[in-house]
Homo-oligomer: A and B are copies of this chain.
Amino acid sequence: MLSNKKKYIVNGNSGIKAQQIQFADQKQEFNKRPTKIGRRSLSRSISQSSTDSYSSAASYTDSSDDETSPRDKQQKNSKGSSDFCVKNIKQAEFGRREIEIAEQEMPALMALRKRAQGEKPLAGAKIVGCTHITAQTAVLMETLGALGAQCRWAACNIYSTLNEVAAALAESGFPVFAWKGESEDDFWWCIDRCVNVEGWQPNMILDDGGDLTHWIYKKYPNMFKKIKGIVEESVTGVHRLYQLSKAGKLCVPAMNVNDSVTKQKFDNLYCCRESILDGLKRTTDMMFGGKQVVVCGYGEVGKGCCAALKAMGSIVYVTEIDPICALQACMDGFRLVKLNEVIRQVDIVITCTGNKNVVTREHLDRMKNSCIVCNMGHSNTEIDVASLRTPELTWERVRSQVDHVIWPDGKRIVLLAEGRLLNLSCSTVPTFVLSITATTQALALIELYNAPEGRYKQDVYLLPKKMDEYVASLHLPTFDAHLTELTDEQAKYLGLNKNGPFKPNYYRY
């Protein structure tokens, strides 16, 4: 979300300024009154992390000495095109290798290229995209291209762009406008360069966070006449779409891919089960065995964290507000406590609630020396970090992403990533998880683009279950997993189509 990303440095373009102000207001309102749909789900998306740091976004080649803004450079790719703006087109070769490595771990997209290529289901599609620009995104973009689409792309985060990958895409002919370390003004300039093109008008939007959608909404509302649909991945962006829909202002169908089953399970349960260990190890080199840990929240993220730490020999306590999740924690072998009951004895505090101020200054005051505090949940609200910015406490940066906060009596708290998401700041997201997301996005684009008129109205839709199942099926070969097929007799007995969908919508998996 924009307001999390950077302070507004409003530029001289008054037209843009006006829009921005209006936009910012709207978001503030949103912050005050989260609606039920967006917030209640307590979900956590990779794409939420439009915050400052993003560990996997390290630059592979050194270009730190080049201080010229890409906007001021004249660059051409080897085919003579200059319809792009990246840090350094010469880094293309290195980026290409990164893309090739990513392709090997994204077999589903590669399969999609093969299966759908004959028919070119996206022939005629003009997709404008705004996402993190990484090797995995590049595999998605080139897949969309192979399926017939034309694409133009900007970054959804001012820090996360891999310059080498952007260069490789530009070299391959993709109009990409993105670099690591954009200014606020650069950010909107890039987006504008994607959509404001002479002789080209998008008919599909792929968004991550909602900034692109809103830019078009505010600046080029007429474009929506030709747009067939929006595919949105993030919690924040989805929330904005539901807001628009509720206000009767959504003028095209939108697909919420954030809440698909596979995406949710992989972004949350399976990914966090691994990244909680990774994030803690990389930052603290601690040993898990025998440590006492309290995990706040037993949703998918909390379930993943608890399972991993229990397996490594930690003693895990859980806090919950929801009695159903609380009972699950009990049945899974965790003592359900209030944070106050264990705060003095635990070695690690992990928040996974989606809530705010779950860990307060009072809790922090009572923790024992060397207690580690980190957040796996939502945004940077869960730990009241602001309450630690008081004169009597000393902050000491001991490593990247690791601060010691020191009390007057010498007690130290180890605060990771300043309370931002640990797994995005101090760990990496496996390509396999990003593959699930990218495949889901590609299928959603195909579905919206090819849907017969009337199937989707001006509303927000969940991915059809059959597509969710298709995403899953495309990833099974990675594990050499062999699916069983229903016999005709069995399908009839169950009242199912042999090709799915196999479960009712309310099925909980």
Which residues of A line the B interface, CB within 8 A? 33-37, 39-42, 56, 101, 104-105, 259, 261-262, 264-266, 270-271, 273-274, 277-278, 281-282, 285-292, 300, 307-308, 310-315, 319-339, 341, 345, 354-358, 369-370, 381, 398, 427-428, 430-433, 468-470, 472-473, 475-476, 478-487, 489-490, 493-496, 500, 502-509
Task: Say how far A437's CB is from chain B's closest CB, in angstroms.
Answer: 13
Q: Could you jot down 28 A-B contacts, CB within 8 Å? A: A33-B495, A40-B495, A40-B503, A40-B504, A265-B328, A270-B289, A271-B287, A274-B281, A274-B289, A274-B312, A277-B281, A285-B430, A289-B333, A290-B481, A292-B479, A315-B333, A323-B470, A323-B473, A324-B472, A326-B472, A326-B483, A327-B472, A336-B479, A336-B481, A337-B481, A338-B484, A339-B484, A341-B482
Chain B: CB-nearest residue to A287: B430
Q: Are B468 and A321 in contact (CB under 8 A)?
A: no
CB contacts (< 8 Å) of A483 on chain B: these are 320-321, 323, 326, 336, 338
Copies of chain A in the complex? 4
CB contacts (< 8 Å) of A493 on chain B: these are 34, 39, 355-356, 381
Q: CA A42 – CA B486 in complex, angstroms?
A: 14
Q: CA A300 – CA B509 in complex, angstroms?
A: 7
Q: CA A370 – CA B285 in complex, angstroms?
A: 28
Task: Say how far A336's CB is from chain B's closest CB, in angstroms.
Answer: 4
Q: CA A351 – CA B367 in complex, angstroms?
A: 35
Task: Say how far A301's CB is from chain B's closest CB, in angstroms.
Answer: 13
Q: Are B34 and A325 in contact (CB under 8 A)?
A: no
CB contacts (< 8 Å) of A287 on chain B: these are 270-271, 274, 430-433
Q: Are B324 and A262 in contact (CB under 8 A)?
A: yes
Q: Are B369 and A104 in contact (CB under 8 A)?
A: yes
Q: Are A288 and B274 in contact (CB under 8 A)?
A: yes
Q: A355-B490, A469-B323, A493-B355 are in contact. Are A504 and B41 (CB under 8 A)?
A: yes
Task: Say how far A238's CB is from chain B's closest CB, in angstroms.
Answer: 12
CB contacts (< 8 Å) of A310 on chain B: these are 310, 333
Q: Are A336 and B41 in contact (CB under 8 A)?
A: no
Q: Are B36 and A502 in contact (CB under 8 A)?
A: no
